[in-house]
Structure 1
Amino acid sequence: MKDFSGKIAVVTGGGNGMGRELTKQLAEARCSVAICDISDEDMAETVSAAEALAPQGARITHFRADVGKEEDVQAFANHVRTAHETDHIHLLINNAGIGGGGSFVTGPRENWERTFNVCWYGVYNNARAFMPMLVAADEGHIVNVSSVNGFWASIGPDTPHTAYSAAKFAVKGFTEALITDLRLNAPHVKASVVMPGHIGTQIALNTLREFGNDSAVGGGNEEYEAAKARGEQFRDNAITSAEDAARIILDGVRADNWRILIGPDAEAIDEAVRKTPKAAYEGDFGLSIFARLREAIAPG
């Protein structure tokens, strides 16, 4: 898919972060876009920004949907058919995600399953709902956002990270398996798995908003405010911006790349895990990678 002009794209988690930047860049490329999110306020900001960039004829729509709930996703698909007056779409980007559910051993089951449902079943539900519409197009592409935690299940030796990692491994495996399935049964539809490193998004803040001041982030206002500060630092001090990440994803679609790594950290972790997989969960593995990255990207 070299050109997005005149195409129809669906972007989940379009309210902010990479979803917002993808929507803006697609709109600027003369693509009509349907987004979903759980925040009407966030979606309104995205639509306004995208419409300011979209040429005449490109249509930007939004729909409130929880991607972890199949009935919401089916309603979203119906919205796309009606609002865009279509029986097909050309591009599906499964971008929605949250963190949380870190410990399988000590964390609340409902938090673990909520994170897994959004990050895995959000992809599955939308793939089920929109695959017939991708197949109905003359060309189509499904993009599923996994993570570096889809091939390295860690954010450090002192922090469990089970639900998100399990979901992102599932997204990676599903997408890679789709390559053969689509080649055999719908060769005009392509699939890509995206594995971002540290991107400047609100995922940590969205996770805090999702779970609130409970055991997912600790008890008490002081711990809540500390978690909020960490979320803001994650957003504001990233290696790669959401804008750059969106550009890399869309360039990857244009180039028909099935595997899209985003950021020097993603590339470094991927290389290290492949080189020494048995050491991947030793205490200093990630720390040594990030130390080398900091040195490499330091000014001067």
Structure 2
Amino acid sequence: MKDFAGRIAVITGGGTGMGRELARQLAAEGCNIALGDVSGGAMAETKRLCEAAGLQQGQRVTTHIADVADEPQVVRFRDEVAEQQESDHINLLFNNAGIGGGGSFLVNERDEWERTFNICWGGVYLCTRAFMPMLRRADAGHIVNTSSVNGFWAYIAPNIPQTAYAAAKFAVKGFTEALVTDLRINAPHIKCSVVMPGHIGTSIIANSRKLQSGNQSDEITAHEVGLARARISSMGVDATKLSDDDVRKMIAERARRFLEDAPTTAAEAATIILDGVRKERWRILVGRDAERIDSLVRATPEQAYETEFFEAFAKETGWVVGGR
């Protein structure tokens, strides 16, 4: 698809970050958009931004509350898309929703670990299953699955475990690569791409905190402080020496730095992704840091988890500790 005008795109995680920017850029090209997210307020803002930029006559931007880890909600999401877009098909599926958490398999709670895995991997699987019939009915289709540099390098810093997120993103990458052949044989009009961003300036840290805790306000609760203490302890740090206010400040600063200090903005990432879709690239690295990690891991895979490897990479690229 060189031209997105008149097409229908489904975007999960469409309320903020890369999902929002994908929606804005696609809408500007005349594409119909169906947003999926757990936050109705965030999607309403994305829709407002799309409409404020100007829509063509008949162009639709619809919003759908859905937890992509829950199959009944995903099925309802699909049925709402068909009804509100008044179509039996879609052309583009962006499996973009994701959260962090469950860094340590040993220290973090099982619920947090599985919540992360089930959204980051399960959401991709369930949405692809649900929307595949609509993709097959289109004249052309493209599935875009968001993995990460953590889909080929399960590491963000020497003292930060990353098991749930990395395991999920490895699964997304492997699934997409396997789909290349499956689609070529059984649905050749549908292409697929795996997106592997480096550090992109998004609100994933703040959003993950809210989803993991069930608290949608900006106030950091005592429960969230407890979750953060477990994460800090998983890094080998004695969290008992920190006051609750110290922990709250660390939580807020981590979210701020991830959003504001990133080398690549969400808008820049969306542009790179859509360019890759136009070129039918199955493998889309996003950001100079992602390109550099990819080349280094390929060159010296046995060294990829050594401290010296990380320190050399971070010095070269200005990688923010905590990364993605």
TM-score (norm 1): 0.96
State how far apart, in whole Å, the 1-side matches of 2:252 and 2:172 are.
Answer: 28
State how far apart, in whole Å, the 2-side matches of 1:262 and 1:59 are.
Answer: 28
Question: Shift in Å at residue 214 of structure 1?
Answer: 4.9
Which position in structure 2 is the counterpart of 1:263?
287
| Alpha carbons 1:107, 1:215 under 8 Å: kept | no
Which position in structure 2 is the counterpart of 1:182?
183
Question: Shift in Å at residue 157 of structure 1?
Answer: 1.1
Q: Spell out the pairing of 1:148-227 with structure 2 (5 A cutoff).
A: 148-212=149-213, 213-218=224-229, 220-227=244-251
Which position in structure 1 is the counterpart of 2:276?
252
| Alpha carbons 1:218, 1:224 under 8 Å: kept | no
Question: Shift in Å at residue 283 of structure 1?
Answer: 1.2
Letter in 1 for 2:38: I
State how far apart, in whole Å, the 2-side matches of 1:33 and 1:216 are.
Answer: 35
Which position in structure 1 is the counterpart of 2:12?
12
State how far apart, in whole Å, the 2-side matches of 1:188 and 1:221 are.
Answer: 55
| Alpha carbons 2:194, 2:283 under 8 Å: kept | yes
Indicate the larger mover: 8-17 or 44-53.
44-53
1:288 and 2:312 are equivalent in the alignment: yes
| Alpha carbons 2:12, 2:97 under 8 Å: kept | yes
Which position in structure 2 is the counterpart of 1:145?
146
State how far apart, in whole Å, the 1-side matches of 2:101 and 2:285 are.
Answer: 23
Question: Shift in Å at residue 210 of structure 1?
Answer: 1.7
Letter in 2 for 1:242: A
Q: Spell out the pairing of 1:268-279 with structure 2 (5 A cutoff).
A: 268-279=292-303
**Secondary structure of 1:10 counterpart:** strand
1:33-53 deviation per Cα after TM superposition (whole angstroms, max 9, x unaligned)? 000111111111000001122
TM-score (norm 2): 0.89
| Alpha carbons 2:193, 2:277 under 8 Å: kept | yes
Indicate the larger mover: 125-134 or 209-218.
209-218
Letter in 1 for 2:187: A
Q: Which runs of 5+ in 2 are unaligned?
A: 214-223, 231-243, 320-324
State how far apart, in whole Å, the 2-side matches of 1:69 and 1:286 are.
Answer: 36
Which position in structure 2 is the counterpart of 1:3?
3
Letter in 2 for 1:66: D
Which position in structure 2 is the counterpart of 1:298?
none
Q: Which runs of 5+ in 1 are unaligned?
A: 296-300
Aligned-CA RMSD value: 1.2
Q: Between the two proteins, what is the percent identity of the paired residues?
A: 56
Question: Shift in Å at residue 97 of structure 1?
Answer: 0.3
State how far apart, in whole Å, the 1-side matches of 2:87 and 2:39 are.
Answer: 25
State how far apart, in whole Å, the 1-side matches of 2:10 and 2:225 are.
Answer: 33
Letter in 1 for 2:6: G
Question: Shift in Å at residue 291 of structure 1?
Answer: 0.5
